[in-house]
Amino acid sequence: MATLKESIRQFAHEAGFELVGFTHTSPPPHLRVYLDWVAQGRHAGMAYLASSRARELRADPARILPQAQSILVVGMRYFNPASQPTPPTPLHGRVAAYAWGKDYHDIIIERLEKVAHQIEALNGQPLNYRAYTDTGPILERDFAMQAGLGWIGKNTCLISPRHGSYFLLGVLFIDLKIDPDPPFTTDQCGNCQRCIEACPTDCILPDRTIDSARCISYLTIENKGPIPPELRPALENQVFGCDICQQVCPWNIRFGKSDGDAALAPRHEQTFPHLPTDLLLDPQQFIEKYRETPLLRPKRRGFFRNLAVALGNARDPQTVPTLLTCLHHEEEPLVRAHVAWALGQVGTPLALKSLEEALPQERDPVVVDEIRSAIQFIQSG
């Protein structure tokens, strides 16, 4: 007869989680690294990571659910970005592979809830539990390492020695005593520096943390303001997230499977958004197109900012009419500012003339500065 631990593991596998492990609610081993990272301001604009409550709960996970005695840690595999490596044209953007389909938050939480209900049915009594997936003050990767699922690589991702790192993590706090799995204690990155060398913005730090202010994933998703001009060329056509540090990892090259969970199946228009088309979506069209997907996370203004940067990096004269339409009719100053930069990168006579005509009409000081910089850039080239 299966033990309780074996039954829960089976429930998790049947729910669609490929990685499954158990650990305890003790303080995470990398707590000091996290606290130092916050103290150095490496969290950039993500103030929620630095709040006193966030630090307290991360330091003492038992406070999240006082009755909890164990933590179930799971990993759901998403599609390998190498399975769709090339955008159809230079005017199509790139989206991080985990965001090619539906929003994983809803999927993972629903599955963890299902597992919790199965545990209740098995035991014949209510279960006190809390389910999270990147939705609470938890160091999920530490829990995953403690549950034996892998180690935290130099690129800060959890790496499974059998499957690579293309996984989304979830945790379920439960008020049942389950023997923990042996923690993963070996570092299998060795002397490899591929992720560090491949990062186009040099955001990977020596202590296995990220300088968020330079990370493409942060800049295109969590960042609410402008993208620093000096970093914009490094984004190339990335409009949501980044996979570069994982794509070059030998563990993914060797063990990363091409397919992922069917619930995260890619949608072509979401995998490679057509930049000019999306830049002209009105607010309702944007919501309808990307409803129930991660691409809503930066909101329309953030996503359109990213589209403008990608169009500037494409430097295609055919995009000038689209950029001009956005410059003249877009309500969000953040978007107009990056569109002005994009026109400067395209640099055609029409782009220059249009920027000069737009300058006296613009009232937002940030946009005015971007227009002036774009004009100067074209004239100096």
Write out the two tokens for 27: 């303080």
Active-site choice (36, 106, 134, 207): 134
For residues 110 and 172, the answer to whether their CB atoms sit within 8 Å is no
Burial class (CB in 10 A: 0-12, 13-18, 19+), 274: middle
Instruction: Give helix 320-329 / helix 349-358 axis angle, nearest 10°.
Output: 10
Torsion of CA 115, 118, 119, 120, to 10 degrees: 130
Write out the two tokens for 260: 């992922």
| CA gap 346, 161 in Å, rounded | 45
Give the residue carrying structure tokens 């996984």: 167
Give, in degrees to the nearest 5, the angle at Cα 340 between 307 and 226.
Answer: 60
Would you call 132 helix, strand, or coil by DSSP?
strand
What letter represents residue 112's amino acid? L
Residue 134 among the catalytic residues: yes
Return the active site residues.
134
